[in-house]
Amino acid sequence: MNIHKSPISALTRAFSQHKKALMVISLLVLAVSLIAYCFWSKQAWEGYSHSTRQRSESARNAIDAALALPASNDEQRKLKYDTVVTASSDITKGEDSACNLNPLIQWQRSLGFLNLATIVNDCNTEKEKLGALNGDLKKVIAYIGDEQAVASLLENVKPKSSDLLVDSSWADQLKLWESFSATIGARKVSSEFTATKALVQERSSVVEAAWREVIAAHGAKDKSRYLKSQTALVSSYAALNTIPDMSNRYLLNLISSFRNLYGQAFK
């Protein structure tokens, strides 16, 4: 009698006959897979940890290199400033996903005995430190940027030569200062620069008033008033020097804060 054997029954019989061998093979495949996963996980964690260090080192190198640039003339100062701005913006690139874990190893954080959560916490701590440092660096950059803008506008009111100014040009001087005051008033500045801006406005209004009085005294041909107004004009220009004094104090406070965070971030 020809008995027809089904493939399933043949497989079942073969499995029964080679049950032990198949179990060994399956276990081997499983073991190899697990070992491979373990090695890959190891690599992934090392990479994660390395990228944390790498990010911190890159940020430090970028900031250090930018700050070390020379700034002995206007051109160099501009280049240095732009480089610091770029370094600051580079630090924040990819910041949002900086400490995200690969989903395939994410579950391992819960393996308390491996202490993997520490690596993630370290990454988040570094990220926070860099974020705070960069926040302060941005404040410094914004402040210096505001200062540079004011300095650039002041170039317009700076006397172009040391020649004596004849009376016909005095009204032009007044216009220059009025224009300066208007531009400064309309300019948006960082919150850290607000007080300095107010002082700049106040001092420039004093210079404006002094010019108005010189012109008025000249118009009245009143010698005593004119001489007094000349003295007041000189004083008003001299009083401009209180601006950098105050501005330096504000900037040094910002730098001090930045410096502390720099020390904490790049220990």
Q: What is the H or E stretch that residue 145 is in?
A: helix 116-157
228 binding another protein? (CB under 8 A): no
- Given the complex with another protein, which of 13 and 175 has the nearer CB atom? 175
Q: Minimum Å distance from CB 110 to another protein?
A: 13
Question: With binding defined as CB under 8 A, does residue 255 bind another protein?
Answer: yes
Our CB check for another protein shows the closer of 17 and 152 to be 152
CB 109 within 8 A of CB 115: no
In degrees to the nearest 10, what's the CA dihedral of 89, 54, 124, 68?
-40
Do residues 104 and 44 touch, judged by C-beta distance below 8 A? yes
The residue count for binding another protein (CB under 8 A) is 81
Tell the burial category of 150 from Cβ atoms under 10 Å away from its Cβ (0-12, 13-18, 19+): buried
Tokens of 210: 């002094």
Contact pick of 142, 176, 195, 240 for another protein (by CB under 8 A): 240
Q: Which residues from 22-81 bind another protein, rule CB under 8 A?
A: 27, 30-31, 34-35, 38-39, 41-46, 49-50, 53, 67-68, 70-72, 74, 77, 80-81
Which residue from 92, 148, 183, 257 is in contact with another protein, where contact means CB under 8 A? 148
* Interface positions, 158-197, toward another protein (CB under 8 A): 158-159, 162, 164-167, 170, 173
236 binding another protein? (CB under 8 A):
yes
Question: Cα–chain-centroid distance for residue 155?
Answer: 28
Candidates 10-18, 86-94, 117-125, 182-190; binding stretch for another protein (CB under 8 A): 117-125
Instruction: Indicate the residue among 24 and 182 with the shorter CB distance to another protein.
Output: 24
The half-sphere exposure of 55 on its side-chain side, counting CA atoms within 13 A, is: 28
Task: Among 101, 174, 237, 250, indicate the residue that binds another protein (CB under 8 A).
Answer: 237
Task: Identify the sign of the CA torsion 198, 201, 207, 209.
Answer: negative
* Residue 267 is a binding residue for another protein (CB under 8 A): yes
Distance CA(205)–CA(207), nearest Å, equals 5
